Amino acid sequence: MKYLGCAYYPEYWGLDRVPVDAALMKAASVNVVRIGEFAWARMEPEDGRFDLDWLHRTVEILDAHGINVLMCTPTATPPAWLTCSHLESRFMRADGRRLEHGTRRHYCYTSEIYRHFTRRIVEKLASEFSRHSNVVGWQIDNEPDFIETGFCYCENCQQAFQAWLKKRYGTLPELNRCWGTGFWCTDYSAWDQVRLAPPGLAPARVFDTRRFANAQMSDFLLMQADILKRLHPKSVVSTNLNGEVFTDLDFGNLFEKLDVAFKDLYFDICTMDVNSLIMDQFRSFKPGQSYWVTETGAGMCGNGRPAHKGQFNAWMWSNYAHGADAHVVFRWRTCLSGQEQNLEGMLEHSGHPGHRYQIIKEAFGDMRKLTAQLGTLPLPEAAVALIHDYDTMWGYKSANIGSQIGYERTFTEIHKQFYRRNVRVDVVSPQADLSRYSLVILPSLVMIKPEFAQRLKEFVAGGGVVLAQGQLGMRDDHNSYLSYDGPDHLQELFGLRIHGGMYLYSCVGPEETPSKPTDFKTRIGGQLDGQVVCGSASVWLGDLVGQGGKALLSVQEDLFEGQPAVVERATGKGLAVYAAAIRMDDDLTGALYEYVLNKAGVAFRRDVPLHVEIINRGPVVFAINHSGQPVELALNIRGTVLRGSFKDGKASLLPYDVVIVDTRV
């Protein structure tokens, strides 16, 4: 691991304390600190008056201790003199109220005035701090997304939205056509009638509201990236994603234009299978490149959950094994005040290096020693690609009813099928190069663009296996349903036509009301590889007819009785499989996923206990036990054990234990 570090707030603790802290950091193998993301008021105490001496001095002291700096632009928290004097720079909620000073992200990302002040501070910082050799990178803003605030609805944003729409659609009749305004009387006859949609309005309008907000925020961040790359070209420039996989900001697009994918990953917030999904996604953002974890808990996070003995270590090694190149804890010392006064740093409030300092010191020391010994390792390789499409996800989120599909849950549960079988997965966009994979999964991708369809066809022709589930190619680029059968552009590949589908949210009995919905299940059955399989589907079921495809499973009751439920078609050297059900019971899902894994020739294991990971980085094997139970594990390899207990090809893992074996020796 290249960087082991922590977030540090010299503006809070004062310059006098820096030498003491730097020495303690050094003793704990810290070689990078992240500085500055909330320090605007101390960098520029008044409009145009800068005070950066304390920051230069801090960077120098750290340098003297061999510690690098990841510098942050401070735009997530503008100073009071800015937001109180320039009210239009303040974020406005859908109800017309501006956010108070004293929170985070209370700025409007569209505001020209805010952009002016942003450009000035970023240019100032970049030009001054590029001269320090230990400033190795820049983080733009902090955790940009819309989770904390939602979208801004101020008049500047409204006008920018209208301009953005004008550029996109040209004329109002074209906008009316694309948005399908003919129902519920929503035709627009003047541009200023078209306003950002609060949630719950027409899906096309909500969808464009999301796309617009994403475009504005991305533009704001990339404006900063341009300045930083121009003034400090050798540095690593990026921004840090906080939200989980399913963000309202398109990080795929951002990271494509930035140097490294940064992730704030608090392992104690999600279940371990989701943590694994997140790490798989971050390794995939920039193919062939390691990602950085820019924040992870030093101790308990906002939720007040202490980690168990050893858990910090297991998480850190899992992060390395998945492909991380930095592991930066939040934060050096617990702050005494502020909303986060209880989020634990490495040091106690008092500055005492207590339990957490000792745990991290030991873990970092261990990591430093072992990775030096291992040398540079290749990233883990995945034979499976799971497609994550922002448009599809935002499409679902923009419609009241489609959201029952639960894109996030569907996606997560698909990934878990691989996680529990110890199969490595890349999480990639529809634009990704598919040639590296044997199996590609489409998780209810309701919008399919022709270019993507074309590449899928080539992938199958070349021997790949595709599995698509659920709503496949049924909406257009404006979140409207197609006026013809689906799957759009893919009827031939999958050998079928989709007429529509049926939400199985709840059946209708005479005693039932929608206030207490329960899943309605429909039986599905047939044969897979000669084995009879049978189970139930819920949530949604496609209404389809075969057209060249072969039905493997079919519906066994009620309205769709006798219709195909899983269809496959072989083309060229490959195979396309479509499952009409979006959620099936475990046995059925497992059988289907093992069927396509076998067809694609991808190895998997059934005997690894849940939440135990075995990950290869080239010749080195990492076995990590995230469970609270001891585990005996056959690794079927020979090599030198670098950490933990390994004998006769078997690893013995205590709870939260890590075994590392180097097969080169």
Residue 415 CB, shortest distance to its own copies, in Å, is 15
Residue 612 CB, shortest distance to its own copies, in Å, is 9
If the CB atoms of residues 189 and 376 are measured against its own copies, the closer one turns out to be 189
Residue 243 CB, shortest distance to its own copies, in Å, is 15
d(CA 351, CA 335): 10
- Which helix (H) or strand (E) segment is 308 a member of? none
Residue 229 CB, shortest distance to its own copies, in Å, is 25
If the CB atoms of residues 171 and 341 are measured against its own copies, the closer one turns out to be 341
- The answer to whether the CB of 576 falls within 8 A of the CB of 472 is no
Helical ranges in 444-490 per DSSP H: 450-461
If the CB atoms of residues 183 and 372 are measured against its own copies, the closer one turns out to be 183
> 531-546 and 581-584 as β-strands: parallel, antiparallel, unpaired?
antiparallel
- The answer to whether the CB of 424 falls within 8 A of the CB of 602 is no
Q: What is the largest CA-CA distance in the chain?
A: 77
If the CB atoms of residues 308 and 638 are measured against its own copies, the closer one turns out to be 308
If the CB atoms of residues 234 and 352 are measured against its own copies, the closer one turns out to be 352
Residue 252 CB, shortest distance to its own copies, in Å, is 25
Q: How many other β-carbons are positioned within 10 Å of the β-carbon of residue 95? A: 7
Helical ranges in 405-487 per DSSP H: 407-419, 450-461
If the CB atoms of residues 27 and 269 are measured against its own copies, the closer one turns out to be 269
Cα-based torsion angle of the residue sequence 10, 13, 15, 18 in order, rounded to the nearest 10 degrees: -70
If the CB atoms of residues 253 and 627 are measured against its own copies, the closer one turns out to be 627
Residue 342 CB, shortest distance to its own copies, in Å, is 4
Residue 38 CB, shortest distance to its own copies, in Å, is 5
Residue 455 CB, shortest distance to its own copies, in Å, is 25
d(CA 506, CA 517): 6
- The answer to whether the CB of 368 falls within 8 A of the CB of 316 is no
Burial (CB < 10 A; 0-12, 13-18, 19+), residue 647, is exposed
Residue 86's contacts (CB-CB under 8 Å, 6 or more residues apart) are: 111, 113, 114, 117
Burial (CB < 10 A; 0-12, 13-18, 19+), residue 96, is exposed
If the CB atoms of residues 116 and 305 are measured against its own copies, the closer one turns out to be 305
Residue 321 CB, shortest distance to its own copies, in Å, is 16
Residue 440 CB, shortest distance to its own copies, in Å, is 26
For tokens 């396309």, the residue is 576
- Which helix (H) or strand (E) segment is 203 a member of? helix 203-231
If the CB atoms of residues 616 and 627 are measured against its own copies, the closer one turns out to be 627
If the CB atoms of residues 123 and 340 are measured against its own copies, the closer one turns out to be 340
| Nearest by Cα to 144 from 38, 246, 241, 265 | 241
3-state secondary structure labels for all residues of 4-71? EEEEECHHHHCHHHHHHHHHHHHHCCCCEEEECCCCHHHHCCECCECCCHHHHHHHHHHHHCCCEEEE
For tokens 């909500």, the residue is 206
Residue 95 CB, shortest distance to its own copies, in Å, is 6
Burial (CB < 10 A; 0-12, 13-18, 19+), residue 525, is middle
If the CB atoms of residues 337 and 376 are measured against its own copies, the closer one turns out to be 337
DSSP conformation class of 480: P
